[in-house]
Structure 1
């Protein structure tokens, strides 16, 4: 797994690969079908971004965030951090557009903003 983490960064993107199609219950959000392919999740951490990323990478943990429900099925390939200047929602939109990403689950990771999701899917390998 490739990890690029900068101490002053407050945004991050986690890229993982799902080996086979799965129906997964994402907490109270509902059950969704996740196709085989690449998934990118964008989040933020105002402080201690390293700890947040380390938690997301762990498989065995108490389920707290939407990503925690998807994580056991993903092979994490890359984690990249970013300066917080553009904002979490703008970073997600930029990466989604750059990769032609599709929203697989409405509301995933975006319960505290007005975005449709903070998770996108791509059949082809995504670039962070």
Structure 2
């Protein structure tokens, strides 16, 4: 049984420090511009665990650039973290700067994604990113600069 506290919609504000080409699993290679992105997802059975998974992996991927630490991170990834979602590939190169959540059993991810794309100067970088199970253009929105405050009030 899904409980209200264990389910919900989340948004990750992500900062990519430099423009680069990144392979996103079966979606292939795409050029990502330096700047801020918002990824919107849902977890209908384990919201806190899903967010923790993204954050723990993201911290390890970004903690150090020395060879010894990178080997440790690689071993951890092999054992603990399989690339499962499109966002996993981006988080290898970017930093989560903020997390927003809405707890409950209703899915708001499509509504949030559409609201974000309706804002000026946003764009789709990778069509269907995070949206394989719906008809949305994408669940990853490029803002360039930090997403506006009104996005934080959407839920």
TM-score after normalising by structure 2: 0.72
Distance 1:62 1:86 in 2: 25
Alignment RMSD: 1.9
Confirm or deny that 1:21 pairs with 2:19.
yes
- Aligned counterparts, 1:1-128, within 5 A: 7=5, 10-57=8-55, 58-59=57-58, 60=77, 61-84=81-104, 85=106, 87-98=108-119, 100-127=121-148, 128=152
Q: Which runs of 5+ in 1 are unaligned?
A: 1-5
Higher-Rg structure is: 2
Report if aligned partners of 1:9, 1:81 keep a CA contact under 8 Å in 2: no
Distance 2:8 2:95 in 1: 23
Distance 1:82 1:97 in 2: 20
SS at 2:141's partner residue?
strand
SS at 2:30's partner residue?
strand
Report which of the two has the higher share of strand.
1
Alpha-carbon deviation of 1:98?
3.9
Q: Which runs of 5+ in 2 are unaligned?
A: 59-76
* Residue 125 to residue 70, structure 1, CA distance change in 2 (3 Å): same
Give the count of matched residue pairs: 123
Tell which deviates more after alignment, 76-85 or 118-127.
Answer: 76-85
Alpha-carbon deviation of 1:7?
3.1
Report which of the two has the higher share of helix.
2
